[in-house]
Amino acid sequence: MKRKKKNWIGRVVCLLLIYVFMFVGYQFYERKVEERFRYEDMIHETNECLRIGDWKCAEKNVRELLKSEPNDTNLQMHMAGILFEQERYKECINYIETLSFKHQDLDYLVKKSNALEQELKNLGVEKSMHFRLEFDGGPSKKDVMEALAVLEVAYDSISNLFDYLPENKMSLVLYEDKEYQGTGPRPDWVAAVFDGKLRVPVNMMAYREVYRPVLFHELTHSFVRAMTHANVPCWMNEGIAQVIDGSHNNEERPLGAYPSVESLRKPFVKEKDSATVKMLYWFSRRMVEELLWRDGGGPHAFRKFAKCLQDLRELGMDGSLKKHYETTAQDLLESVK
């Protein structure tokens, strides 16, 4: 009788232990599943923060993700890029130096950060609500304040057209010394550029009819970058900038061979021949005008174009054009010939 009782108690204990192990195992599994979903939700949120340029949100999430995956090189590269985008150049360099791997993108960030850090030391600075203006060569106070005033007007106009407000302040460099005209070689026909900062030669400020459209043009590129963080085809980028700066309206088509979609997609800055460049710019403007005219050319048309730009990251050029305009780049090019 005692042996049977002991056997019965033993079986109960075994069953209880099995139940406890199953319960603990299920709780552990449930917690892991919940953590995984939370991790994936955070990745999705981080990607969205990166897409719209909300660097504070992106930094917070990437730091949190790195706690779970401290050796994830993709997250580490994002972290370096986020610090760079916030103009925290010393932090960016120091962070990259702690990483245990090498990559050409990291080398670029270090090189660019060092150059921009040096600029901050050498250049004068004026600020307005949405801009930080850096300058060398001692331009007149009038030129500096005029540039900021034009930029603020342009900012209001473009933000209303696109129904979009950038998350971060924008930077303009008024340069006299070519050292500050931006990195990399460029052809003689290029004056102002946008390379993360708007860079305009200070002598341009003597010609009101020149610098106003130039500032509108380059600021449009800045908005496009802030909205998309995507590889935007050059014809879309340059086309919308020309439409907004208004300096080439109603120009007749230049003489010469028609461009291809591929030549319109890649950066025009690589072209040396000014006649070819003129043709590429003309077709870029006409193709964007055609898209805007299809929707009446008013505020709605510009906002639809902005949505098309924002979908480039996910859908690509023709995918986004088909979604918003039921066309392709090739069909659009044919229609403006």
CA distance 202 to 181: 11
Beta-bridged to residue 124, according to DSSP, are 135
DSSP classification of residue 179: G
**The pLDDT value given to residue 242:** 93
> Does 235 share its domain with 314?
yes
The structure tokens listed for 196 are 């993360």
Handedness of CA 253, 258, 264, 266 (dihedral sign): negative
Low-confidence ranges of the chain (pLDDT < 70): 1-39, 51-53, 123, 137-138, 177-191
> Does 89 share its domain with 131?
no
The domain tally of the chain equals 2
**The pLDDT value given to residue 58:** 87
> Does 182 share its domain with 285?
yes
Contacts of residues 256-264 at CB distance under 8 Å and 24 or more positions apart, as own/partner, are 258/283, 258/333, 258/337, 259/283, 259/333, 261/329, 261/330, 261/333, 264/233, 264/234, 264/235, 264/329, 264/333
CA distance 170 to 55: 14
> Does 200 share its domain with 317?
yes
Domain containing 50 — which CATH number? Answer: 1.25.40.10
Q: Are 134 and 123 in contact (CB under 8 A)?
A: yes
> Does 244 share its domain with 136?
yes
> Does 188 share its domain with 139?
yes
Q: Where are the alpha helices (DSSP H) in the chain?
A: 2-52, 55-68, 73-85, 89-98, 104-122, 141-162, 208-228, 234-245, 261-265, 274-293, 299-310, 312-325, 329-336
Give the residue from 162, 114, 156 showing the smallest Cα distance to 131: 156
> Does 285 share its domain with 231?
yes
> Does 159 share its domain with 280?
yes
CB atoms under 10 Å from CB of 163, counted, come to 12
On the CB side of 100, CA atoms within 13 Å amount to 4
**123 Cα distance to chain centroid:** 25
Q: Is 232 helix (H, G, I), strand (E, B) or coil?
A: coil
Where a domain ends, among 74, 97, 120?
Answer: 120
**The pLDDT value given to residue 15:** 60
**The pLDDT value given to residue 182:** 54
> Does 295 share its domain with 166?
yes
**The pLDDT value given to residue 206:** 75
Q: Is 204 helix (H, G, I), strand (E, B) or coil?
A: helix
Where a domain ends, among 70, 87, 120?
Answer: 120
Taking the complete model, does pTM exceed 0.75, yes or no?
Answer: no
Q: Are 170 and 131 in contact (CB under 8 A)?
A: yes
CB atoms under 10 Å from CB of 150, counted, come to 20
**The pLDDT value given to residue 229:** 73
**The pLDDT value given to residue 275:** 86
Where a domain ends, among 98, 120, 142?
Answer: 120
Place of tokens 């005219």: 293
Domain containing 160 — which CATH number? Answer: 1.10.390.10
> Residue length, the chain?
337
Is residue 167 packed enough to be buried (19+ CB in 10 Å), middle (13-18) or exposed (0-12)?
middle
Q: Are 315 and 228 in contact (CB under 8 A)?
A: no
> Does 207 share its domain with 221?
yes
CA distance 33 to 20: 20
CA distance 131 to 139: 17
The structure tokens listed for 188 are 């003689």
> Does 10 share its domain with 136?
no
The structure tokens listed for 97 are 């130096």
57 lies in which domain range? 2-120
Place of tokens 């019965």: 8
CA distance 274 to 262: 18
> Does 26 share its domain with 106?
yes
